Amino acid sequence: MKTNFRIVLIAFLSGLGGAYLYQQVVQPTPVTEIIREVPTYQRANNFSNYNDESNAALPVDFRRAAEKSVHSVVYIKNLQRSRRSLSFLDYFYGREVPSNEVAIGSGSGVIYSEDGYIITNNHVIKGADEIEVQHEKRTYRATLVGTDPDMDIAVLKIEANNLPAINIAKSSTVKVGDWVLAVGNPFNLTSTVTAGIVSALGGEANALRENFPIEQYIQTDAAINPGNSGGALVDINGNLIGINTSIISRTGSYAGYGFAVPSDIVVKIVEDLKKYKVVQKAFTGAEVLDIDENLAKKAGIKNLNGVLVESIRRQGAADNAGLEPGDVIKRIDGKNISSKSSYDEVIGSRSPGDKITVQYERNGRLFETELVLENVYGNTEILGEEALDKDDIYFSNYLGAELRKLTPGEKQRMGLKIGVVVSKIDKERGFMRRLDLEEGDVILAINRRGAQDPEAVAKYIQNYYGRIYFEIIDKSGTQRTLTYRFQ
C-alpha cells in the first residue's frame, strides 16, 4: 500500500516539475505590444517628401478669420404684405377688409462700407414691401439701392455710421484647394461659420453648369444653407472673396455644393449701383465658346486652352480690334483665359470704355491687340436706369442686323406697349439691307402679329416665305406698312 502511494506521489511531483520546466525553458514568453499613436499632423511632418510644404498638414486655425468677419455679417428680413383679395367666404364670415398678414422671408447680408451699404442676394429681398437689417441687437429700415438679377446681387442702404465693414480680397487670386469659411446670420441667430475648401472655379465644374445659371462663381464644400444666402465667403485671413448665393440640392439643404459670386464681380456691381443705379456691363462684340476635344478637332485647334471666337458683330469692339471668327483668345490683360467662365469674369469686372489687351491665336501664330469695351448698345457711353439687358438685344448674322426691345422711356414717349427697334443694319452684307427698313425704325407687327421679342422677330423674318407685311414707325414718327414677297 505504501509502495503504491510513493509511486503516485513521485509521478505527480515529476509532472509538476516537467510542466514548470517546459513553461520556463521551452515555451516562449508572450509579449504584449504597446503602440503609441503619433498624431496625424506629426506623422505627416516626418515624411521626407513634404519638404517646404510640411506646414500645409498642420491643423488650420479658423478663429482669427471667424472673429474678423462675423461682425460684418447681418440678418435681413423681407416683409411682404398680403395681397389676398376678399372672397365670398370673407364676406360670409364678416371679414370686410383684406388681411394684414405679413409674409417674412430672410437671409444674410454683408456690410460693404461703414456708412451703411449692405450686400445681399437679389432673391433674398425680391418682392419685398419693406426690408429690415438687424445687426448686433439693432434693427434698421433699409432702402434698396439696386439689383443685378443676373448675378443674384442686391445692394441695400441703412442709416448708420462706423459699421464694421468687411475687408475685401481679390477673388482673382483664389485657387482650388484654398481653405474658406462661409459666414452667415440665418434666422437672426448668432453668426454661423462653416469651413471648407474651394472645390472649383467657374467652368471647372462643367457637370453642374446646366443647373446653375451663373457661370462666374466660386464653388465650395463649406456648408451653405438657405438662411446663409447673401452671407460672406472669406479666406483664412477673414477677407471677403465672394457672396454666398446658392446651393445645388434636391432638398433645398446643404448637399456638398455651395456657390459664391466672386468679390471682384461683387465690387464692380456695388460701385456701379451706388453711382449709376444700374450695372454698367461691358461687352466685346464677340460670342465665344469653350473649347472641347470635338470643337478643337473641327476647328483644327491643337490644344484646348483659351476660348474660340464663334462670331463677331460688325463694327463692334472686337471687329474694330481686328479679331475674326475662328481666332482663339488666350490671354486678356496678362490673365490666362482657360474657359468661357474665366473670359466672362475678366470682362464682367470691367466697364464700357475700358481698354483691354487681348492675346489671340490665328493659324498657329500669336497676335496681340487692344480692344475698347462697349455697352449693350454697342457704344462706350455710361447708361442710365433705363438700360436694357443683354437678353433684350439680338444680333442676326443672317439678317446682318441688330434688333432690340423698346426701353420704358421710349414706350412712354411713343405711346406704345410693344415694338422692336432696328438698332443696327450692316450695309455691306445680310438680308435686312435689301429692305426699306432703316436704323431707328420700330417694327410694331409682322403679318398682324405684335412684335415684342427681338430674337423671335429675327427668326420669323429669316424663316418666312411668301407675302409679308411690316407695320412700322419710322424715324420721323410716321406709321406705315411695308409689303414684300420673300422667295
Give the Cα separation of 124 and 189 in Å (integer): 17
The answer to whether 109 and 191 have CB atoms below 8 angstroms apart is no
Mind giving me the DSSP string for 223-258? Answer: ---GGGTT-EEE-TTS-EEEEEEEE--SSSS--S-E
One-letter amino acid for residue 214 of the chain: I
Annotated catalytic, 253? no
Q: Is 427 helix (H, G, I), strand (E, B) or coil?
A: coil
Cell of 217: 462663381
Backbone φ/ψ region at 466: left (φ over 0), alpha (ψ -120 to 50), beta:
left
Give the Cα separation of 231 and 97 in Å (integer): 39
Give the Cα separation of 442 and 463 in Å (integer): 20
Task: State the catalytic residue, choosing from 72, 106, 123, 441.
Answer: 123
Nearest to 233 by CA among 64, 56, 66: 66
Beta strand spans in 321-354 (E): 328-332, 335-336
Annotated catalytic, 229? yes
Q: Is 119 helix (H, G, I), strand (E, B) or coil?
A: strand
Task: State the catalytic residue, choosing from 152, 221, 426, 441.
Answer: 152
Query: Which single residue is written with the C-alpha cell 416665305?
Result: 465
Task: State the catalytic residue, choosing from 106, 199, 229, 423.
Answer: 229
Give the Cα separation of 225 and 336 in Å (integer): 33
The answer to whether 375 and 350 have CB atoms below 8 angstroms apart is no
Instruction: State the catalytic residues.
Output: 123, 152, 229
